[in-house]
Structure formats: structure tokens, C-alpha cells
A and B are shown apart, each in its own frame.
Chain A
Amino acid sequence: MSNDTLTYVTEEMRSAQGKWGGTRTAPPITETDIRRWAMATYYPQQPPRIYWDADYAATTQWGGIVAPPDFNPFAWPVERPRGGSPGVSGRRPDGKPLTGMNGGQTDTYGVPMRPGDVVSARSRLLDWWEREGRLGHTLYVRTEIEWRNQDDELVRTRMSISIRY
């Protein structure tokens, strides 16, 4: 049964569309953060030396340890910003809160992240669409997220799709 009037799009989303939000800044990246990330994503095998062996890394094009491109310096903030993306507070017709899931992303990488780097992020809602899916009425939201380091060099641009159902 279709419901033409059902929408999970909120006024908050409409007013935020296209506007860059505030900048968030991550704690400085440490060698240990990078080593643990690489060990977790390569588990149970040993990660490449570029991610944990400073002497070896000094001999490469990077001149020192770099983080894996997918490394997230924003994990484990002491103070967590409230909310998240605008408009996740919707409810399903059965009264349950919406479930959010990661739909995919495209990342373009600039300079690598290194120990000591302080990365800042800003994001904006680009657009969204809705359809009836396997999990019922489903909202897809596209967000652009930009990361820069302490020298204002572009680290990463992410186009992200989140799913809410």
C-alpha cells in the first residue's frame, strides 16, 4: 500500500539544504591512532610498515608515517556535538524512530593525514529523495563533507549517502 503523503523530509532539512554547517575540529592525530586503525582494518594480518614504522616510512615518498586514507580522526571526541545531521528525528508510521544506515560514499583524497595533524571538517546537505524499498518507506540523503588540515590543505572531500527508514 503506497502512501503519497508520507515523507521523512523535515523543515529543518529544507532550511539547511546547501548551507555549510559549523566547523568541527578533531584532536591531534597520533602515531598510536594510526597504528591501531591499520591493525584493526588489516586484522588478522600485519598492516603495511608505512602505517607504523617511522624508520621505514622516512625512506618512502611520504618521508614519514601517514594514515590510511580512510582513517577517521574524529573518533573519540571528549565532547560530542549534539544532534548530527539535521532532521534525523522523524518517526515511522508505526511510531518507531527512524533507523539510519550508511548507503555509500565517494571520497576524493588530497594531502595525506600525518601524526600531529589537526583536521577540521564542515558539511552541508546537498539533496535527498524517497522511495518504497525492501525496508518500507526510505529516505536517501546526500551530504558533502570537506576535511582540511591545520595548513588549510584539502585532505578529503566526501559525497555521502545516508539511508533512513
Chain B
Amino acid sequence: MAIDFDKVALGDKLPEWSRRTGFAEWNRYAAVNEEFVPFHMDDEAGRRAGNEQGAFGMGNLRYAYIVNALRDWIGDDGIVREVGCQYRAINQKNDVLTVVGEVTEKTVVDGENRVRLDINVVNQDGGVTCPGHAVVVLP
């Protein structure tokens, strides 16, 4: 189940991790993060905030999806050390979001086997919504 640092190569792809998103996902995230912002809950409020299609999803939920994709890849023997991303495009209702990533660097720092990845969250049209990076520690 765990992946081994020595077997990871530059260019390796993160296994894709997808969710179709809408109120079922947004409302659950709003509940645990107490993130009851009108433009995430109500189409009219979404349009008032400048999104013609109405309510839209939380950036933080896409961030959670990145973290989850990393956890599912590295297993419980790995450590998520760093995650960064920018929220570039809006998460519209019924978007299918997929976390993608590629290994860009392997280093040993302070005795930790670190793997750096370029990360993104793309939608069903291939639209880039959340470019970023991550660093994980592997056994």
C-alpha cells in the first residue's frame, strides 16, 4: 500500500482523484468548516458576486481534494509536508473536478525523503482551476 521513495521517478503521475461537485458536496463542506457564505449557498447571491451561473464552490474544498489525492497516493506511511495553490477559475455546479499531479523533484532534507509535485485541479472541460505544488515525505 505504501509507495517507496526509491521507486518514485521524476515525471511520475499522481493517480487521478475526482469528484462531481454541487450542493451535496458544498453543503457538507460548509457544515464542517462553518463556511456559510451566501455565494456558496444561493444562486442569486452567486450572481450578485459576479458569477452569472449562480452559486459556486469553495476554494478550500478544492484544497481538501488535493490533500486527499496526496493521502490516497502516499498511504499512511507518508506525510503531507506542504501544499500550495492559487484559485484561478470558479468551481461551477456539477463540475467534475480531478486532481492531477506530476513528480518534479526528489530531495533528502533533514533526513526526510521529500518528493515535490506540480499539482492542479482540472474540470471536465480540461479547464485549469487550481495550479499549485505539494511536497510529501516517503519512507
Chain A interface (Cβ < 8 Å from any Cβ of B) = 33, 36-37, 39-44, 48, 50, 60-62, 68-70, 72, 75-76, 99, 101-109, 135, 159, 161
Contact = CB atoms under 8 A, between A and B. Distances in A.
B80 interface: yes
B76 A104 contact: no
26 contacts: A36-B32, A41-B61, A41-B67, A41-B68, A42-B68, A43-B19, A44-B24, A48-B71, A60-B76, A60-B77, A70-B60, A75-B34, A99-B39, A99-B49, A102-B58, A103-B59, A103-B86, A104-B85, A104-B132, A105-B63, A105-B84, A106-B84, A106-B85, A107-B83, A108-B81, A109-B82
Contacts of B132: 104, 106
A77 to B, nearest CB: 8
A69 B74 CA distance: 14
A79 to B, nearest CB: 13
Give chain B's interface residue range (CB within 8 Å of chain A): 35 or more
> Which 9 interchain pairs have the tightest Cβ spacing?
A106-B84, A104-B86, A40-B28, A41-B64, A75-B34, A102-B59, A40-B32, A60-B76, A70-B67
B62 to A, nearest CB: 10
Contacts of A50: 76
B49 A43 contact: no
A61 B77 contact: yes
A104 B72 CA distance: 23
A41 B29 contact: yes
A101 B46 CA distance: 12
B63 A70 contact: yes
Nearest to A35: B32
Most B-side CB within 10 Å, residue of A36, A103, A104: A104
B109 interface: no
Given A75-B33, A102-B59, A135-B50, A41 B65 contact: yes
B108 interface: no
Interface in B83-139: 83-87, 132
A65 to B, nearest CB: 11
B87 A75 contact: no
B87 A104 contact: yes
B25 interface: yes
Contact of A109 (B25, B28, B58, B81): B81
Contacts of B71: 48, 68
A69 to B, nearest CB: 5
B84 to A, nearest CB: 3
B77 A109 contact: no
Contacts of B28: 39-40, 43
B36 to A, nearest CB: 11
Nearest to A102: B59
A102 B32 contact: no
A107 B82 contact: yes
